[in-house]
Every structure is written in C-alpha cells, then in structure tokens.
Amino acid sequence: MPPDPTAITQGLTLTAARARLANRRWKQVQRGADGLGLWRHGARQVALIHSVAYEQDGELWEHVSVSRADGEMPSWAQVRDVFRDICGDDALGIIVVPPKSEHVNISEVAHVWRCVTKRPLPDFTQGSGSI
C-alpha cells in the first residue's frame, strides 16, 4: 500500500502552497484532513477546496474545486488563477469534461486535477513550448 498522501504532501508542496495563498490574500476557512481544505478570497469573490489522494492509476493527485460567491460558474481566468495560486505557475492542471452519463452537477463548480508524481499527458506543444 502506498504511503498516506497527506504525510507525503505535508512537506514542501503544501508548505509552499500555503505561503502562496497567504501572500495572495486567501483566508483559510476550514482545515482539510486530506489537503489544504477550504479557502476564500474576499476581493475575488471565489472559494477553493483542495485535496490530495492516490487515484486508481496508483499516482498521487491534487484536486482543486473552484466556486464563485454568486453561484455562477467560475470563468477560465478565475480557475486558472486559483489553480496557479495553489500549485504554482509551472504546474500542469487538467480539467476533465466527463461523458454526460458520468456528469453530476450538484453546483456550479470547476474542478482541476494535478498529478504530483508524474506528468500524465504528452507534450501537446510538440516541442514548441506553446499551446
């Protein structure tokens, strides 16, 4: 069985993320047992929930949920900025559009995943460095 993801990520990854969030005026609302928990940004009117888990592929993944205070779907720029606030400017985030049969819409929330243990996607830039 792989090590507990919280034990692994309590080191530099989460420490750096907490520092980035604090520097960018995020306020922690609730601690998370499996990640950074729930945070709100008053000026931006957005919230995030962060967790970390081993998924079925055996890899360690971070999950970031992004929501807006007004209940509308977050914009691309809001999702991108929140993800970078947590994971840093050089992290690869993946937004999944599930098949209709697997989509559960409880509220208007955007989800981004980041594989911590490897790069799970090919280089779609084909070496150009730009998408």
Q: What digits encode the pLDDT tens for the residues 65-98?
A: 999 999 999 999 999 999 999 999 999 999 988 8
By residue range, what is the domain housing residue 40? 5-115
**Predicted structure pTM score:** 0.85
The rounded distance, in Å, linking the Cα atoms of 98 and 96 is 6
pLDDT for 1: 52
Q: Is residue 121 in some structural domain? A: no
User: Are the C-beta atoms of 37 and 8 separated by less than 8 Å?
Assistant: no
Give me the sheet containing 35-41, strands edge to edge: 27-32, 35-41, 46-54, 60-68, 109-115
pLDDT for 123: 86
Q: Is residue 129 in some structural domain? A: no
Q: Is residue 123 in some structural domain? A: no
Q: Structural domain tally of the chain?
A: 1
pLDDT for 89: 93
pLDDT for 112: 97
Residues of the chain where predicted confidence (pLDDT) is lower than 50: 10
Q: Is residue 131 in some structural domain? A: no
Q: Is residue 100 in some structural domain? A: yes
Q: Is residue 37 in some structural domain? A: yes
